[in-house]
Amino acid sequence: MLLEQQNEGSLQWAAIDSVAAETIRRLAWQAARDPGLRAGPITEETERIRQMTARCANCGE
């Protein structure tokens, strides 16, 4: 994401700021999901989905 924004001609610090803002937004949403304040998978579910996806990707090898 950072490299894409740099390639578009924007300043490096603007790209870093944009990435930081997106990271903070994701962390804030996840913090609201974990106690059930927002709909969506909690941290443990998200990690389990990642693990299962990785296992499925390795099944074809």
pLDDT tens digits along 22-50: 999 999 999 999 999 999 999 999 999 99
The Cα 18–Cα 5 span in angstroms is 9
Q: Are 26 and 16 in contact (CB under 8 A)?
A: no
pLDDT value of residue 10 = 67
pLDDT value, residue 59: 84
**Domain spans in the chain, listed from the N-terminal domain onward:** 2-59
- For the chain, give the number of residues: 61
Mean pLDDT of 3-10: 58
CA distance 51 to 56: 9
- Contact predicate 41/28, CB 8 Å: no
Q: How many CB atoms lie within 10 A of CB 41?
A: 13
Which pLDDT does position 8 carry in this prediction? 60
pTM over 0.75: no
